[in-house]
Chains A and B, each alone.
Chain A
Amino acid sequence: MRTTIIGLAACLLAQSTSAQSLINGYWNPLGNQDAYHYAAGPDPGDFSGLPITDAARKIAQQYDADEFEMPELMCRPFMATYAPRTLSTMRIWDTTDPQTQEQIKIETNMAFSAPHRTIWMPASNHPAPPATAPHTWQGYSTGKWVGNVLWVHTDHLKPGYLQRSQGLPLDDRTTMDERIFRYGDVLVDIMMISDPQYLSRPFIYSKLYAYIPQGNMDPYPCSVHNQVPAPEGYVPMRLPFYTTNYNDLFAAKGIPLEAAKGGEQTMFPEYQDYLKTLPPNPPYAQLKAEQEKQLEEQNAIARGKP
């Protein structure tokens, strides 16, 4: 009799959790929104619309995208806060318990750089790991279904970056909350990234995907090889006085230099009134000359002849 009662209770409990395959499958990123940031990477020095702190801006201004040519960093995976925002196909699949048919975990894999992420389900079965637990590129993710919406929380992330090729940093206290849902063949992933060090408010970003009925993903074996010849031990970097990290592509877009510094004030409609008051940018030739002068000063320091 006791067994019967336990069985009935199990039936009730089973109905309080979900095992859903709603989002499983292959998804292609839609390129109609923010694609210029993630196809070739955003222009150096353009932080417009990003709620970054002064500390983040200072680090990013000293960033040199050539660091991706360093053998030590060449195969560094994209972290969970960035990989879904690239123009990369994503596969989602789940694993269910063969006895209860309840969802145990949901996994994702992106085509480019092959970041593989696990979302443990449901969150109530997976208490947060201790603060001393290892931090990883994909972090520790737990999820739960609220109706058709998958809620995901991720922490225990390694320090990484908010935007690749801009050097905008995220520190190891970064957390990410997501709401993932679909309308027909469109998948929406609302990513809410919080970082007490480098973001003044959560960075809220929605990534859109389209369903691929016959999905396929190539392997992504990353091998370290010397793509750009450089002296042994060379570390691409900028010294702290370096402030003009712009290129001709940035100049062509006409974004005022003041707005390009970013910060949360640039995210709201009233900033349009402020934009009217900003002076026109100096000619790109002038910016480029300043940049080359600073690079020359840096090289002189590197040679020991400031």
Chain B
Amino acid sequence: MKRLVFAFVIVQTALVAAQGRGGGQGRGGGQPAAAPAPPQTAQQAALVDLTGYWVSVVDEDWRFRMMTPPKGDYAQVPLNAAGRTIANQFDPELYGGAGYQTSQIIDCRAYGGAGLMHMPTRLHITWASPETLKIETDWGVQTRLIHFTPGKSYGDIELALRNGEINGGHEPASMQGYSIAMWEQPYRFNQVTFQRGAAGRGGGLGQNRAMEAQPGGSLGVVTTDLAPGWLRRNGVPYSTKTRLIEHFMTFQDPTGKDWFTDTTEVLDPEYLNTPFIISSEFQKEPDGSKWALHPCKEIK
């Protein structure tokens, strides 16, 4: 019986040690300590697979997304006085006159980085390079490039923003801006602040779960250097000072279909009183057979 207990303890110890090392890598499974793995690329380190064709499923904010809301309708957007002044300059005549709400003549500014993912569209997501994720849209015909920092695939994007690790300055400003990303591991157990990933050692006193590697994770993205654009098709503006924080999380619906949700926080000190926080859901498609380019309209 003593042998049995001893074996049990050995197994338990090995399990804990394996979890600790695996957690240090941010992935399940341990690796021999004597053979450190080379730095992973972002593509290799991916916590979720976002590649493929996706379609936005619009069952929220339908009237703001599928059609152009009436001029002057900024419901739900914490727009300040300066923002309202600009939004009121929207001219329906440039977008189909009396039928502007359903003409589908859509200004390219509505497909700028802060509004793009909430617009009804299909996405084609691929790896442009091992450190760069590419998101293309068929409606509006836009391309976003999501840059990872080599050797730093994991992290907490909001923490990085607060710590000043993401500052923008990637001139010139553009419609899709400059996006920096990190794979976000689950929050760690038993920490006094939000920390991601496993600690690799226990805290003792009943708090030894900090070492555990947990399943799941998400993609965190911060976008800066945006050219002025619109949050809505009817000219609700955001400025070039805008910072965009996004988190992409995958899930399955009860029928087994794959989805991801993009939770988006728009911070604009020029036109918004408070952050504008929304989400957009996308369902995976088997192929690109429904991909149909719909260019937007450049109106100055």
Contact = CB atoms under 8 A, between A and B. Distances in A.
Same assembly? yes
Interface of A: 1, 4-5, 8-9, 11-12, 15, 20, 22, 30-36, 46, 48-51, 101, 146-149, 175, 177, 179, 181, 183-184, 186, 188, 190, 192, 194, 201-206, 208, 210, 252-256, 259, 266-273, 275-276, 278, 280
Interface string B1-27: 110110011001001000000000000
Given A48-B66, A147-B214, A280 B98 contact: yes
B254 A32 contact: no
Interface residues of B, number: 69
B194 A184 contact: yes
Q: Tell me which of B12, B57, B104, B194 has the highest count of chain A C-beta atoms within 10 A of its own C-beta.
A: B57
A32 B77 contact: yes
B212 to A, nearest CB: 7
B102 A48 contact: no
Interface stretch (B82-90, B167-175, B275-283): B275-283
Interface of B: 1-2, 4-5, 8-9, 12, 15, 55-63, 66-67, 69-70, 73, 75-78, 98-99, 101-104, 120-122, 138-139, 158, 186-187, 189, 194, 206, 209, 212, 214-218, 220, 247, 249, 251, 253-255, 259, 261, 263, 265, 276-279, 281, 290, 292, 294
Q: Is the contact region of chain A dominated by helix, strand, or loop, or is it mixed?
A: mixed
A146 B48 CA distance: 14
A181 B279 CA distance: 13
Given A11-B12, A147-B216, A184-B158, A252 B255 contact: no
Contact of B8 (A8, A183, A186): A8
Contacts of B58: 49, 266-269
A270 B61 contact: no
A32 B158 contact: no
A289 B215 CA distance: 59
Given A50-B59, A204-B259, A269-B55, A32 B1 contact: no
23 contacts: A5-B8, A8-B12, A15-B212, A33-B76, A49-B59, A146-B216, A147-B214, A149-B249, A175-B254, A183-B218, A192-B253, A194-B254, A202-B255, A203-B59, A204-B59, A205-B59, A206-B261, A208-B279, A254-B70, A254-B101, A268-B56, A269-B56, A272-B66
Contacts of B277: 30, 32-33, 186, 208, 210
Contacts of A186: 263, 265, 277
Nearest to A280: B99
Nearest to B280: A206
B186 A148 contact: yes
Q: Tell me which of A31, A147, A177, A210 has the highest count of chain B C-beta atoms within 10 A of its own C-beta.
A: A147
Contacts of B121: 269
Contacts of A202: 253-255
A80 to B, nearest CB: 15
B69 to A, nearest CB: 7
A35 B5 contact: no
Given A1-B1, A206-B261, A147 B60 contact: no
A88 B292 CA distance: 40
B275 to A, nearest CB: 8
Given A183-B158, A186-B277, A8 B5 contact: yes
Given A32-B277, A273-B104, A278-B102, A266 B62 contact: yes
Nearest to B209: A15
A5 B121 CA distance: 58
Q: Tell me which of B15, B58, B78, B103 has the highest count of chain A C-beta atoms within 10 A of its own C-beta.
A: B58
A158 B215 CA distance: 34
A273 to B, nearest CB: 7
A259 B59 CA distance: 12
A165 B62 CA distance: 18
A283 to B, nearest CB: 13
A90 to B, nearest CB: 16
A267 B61 contact: no
Contacts of A259: 66-67
